[in-house]
Amino acid sequence: MRSSFPADAPAIREPRHAPVAHVVRGGMIEGVHYGSVAVLDGEGEVRTSIGDIEAACYPRSALKPVQAVAMVRAGLPLDGALLALAMGSHSGEEHHLAGVRRVLELAGLTEADLRNVPDLPYGPAVRDAWLREGRGPSRLAQNCSGKHAAMLYLCKLSGWPLESYLDADHPLQRAIAEVVEELTGRHIAHVTVDGCGSPLFAVSLHGLVRAAARIATAAPDTAEHRVANALRLHPEMASGTGRDTAALMRAVPGLLAKDGFEGVQLAALPDGRAVAVKVADGADRARTVVTAAALARAGVEPRLLAGFTGEPVTGGGRTVGGIRPVAALNPPGAPVTATATATATATA
């Protein structure tokens, strides 16, 4: 096993992304999604690397399981569904809102104490219903409210200031930063502000997948194990009904997964195999397809991933193509198809 002592920070540079997926129409490549992919084997070694997995990148909400580990280590007493919500990017469904209210109630606080940015619910159907009811943006409905409520709860229990809990030098955020560096194995390259208002730490994709593997393989009675179990058992609390990341966890036994804005995804299995994906243009249509292909590359049975082939490309009201991962993500020993041949030629 590698030492957990953090090495130097990842380089801040223009990422050297490579093609990770193609938009295929009528058997021909019409468009290309660039990005980076890291696939670890059960020993923690990189099995497949595409693009630039060592450059600094923003993991966005894919870092939430790591943040949750830090909070549990610091004394956050949540478990199960409420702990899953604490690392969630929820859709704003009623059970999500009720969970956030419950965490605030446990802390003796209210929605007024939240400092995340007010927003409409993230789930399209929920958002439409919300607007039909004449409701506007709120801190409770914003997709990160579970994390913010958990942060406030921990601050209340620890005697830390509440008003400034989002400041990068707050004791809570310093504790989170220490765990980010420990689990990724690298110093944080840069700190800025995430969309919800909390500090956002730049790490490498390699560091992110390493952290995911460490959480997924953690021994019982550890904070990491509590976080992994909560996410595995309550995937919809961390996302929402019909969301692809929750469906992926339901499809692959033992998998923990978390997505983030701008095309970021991590996924890890209990035996240490793990993947991390960054789609350069932030496209969700490529994120899901590439993640499924990376998991197949890691050895997950393709039949378990059959439902994650992505949205079709249509023409004249019928399907004429789709989003296809590059040939480098084919499972080892997989036959080379006509599409794969075209892909390989296009990326040579």
- Continuous segment of H or E residues that includes residue 24: strand 18-25
Percent of the chain with pLDDT over 90: 92
Average pLDDT, the chain: 94
Instruction: Encode pLDDT of 320-330 as tens digits.
Output: 999 999 999 99
Whether 35 and 17 have beta carbons less than 8 Å apart is answered as: yes
Q: How sure is the predictor about 6, in pLDDT bands with cuts at 50, 70 and 90?
A: confident
- CA distance linking residue 128 with residue 161, whole number of Å: 36
* Integer Cα distance of 274 and 295 in angstroms: 8
Classify 128 in phi/psi space as left (phi over 0), alpha (psi -120 to 50) or beta. Answer: alpha
Residue 273: its pLDDT value, please?
A: 98
Give tens-digit pLDDT for 151-169.
999 999 999 999 999 999 9
pLDDT more than 70, % of the chain: 94
The pLDDT, as a whole number, for residue 5 is 64
Which amino acid is present at 347? T
Mapped onto helix, strand or coil, the DSSP state of residue 79 is coil
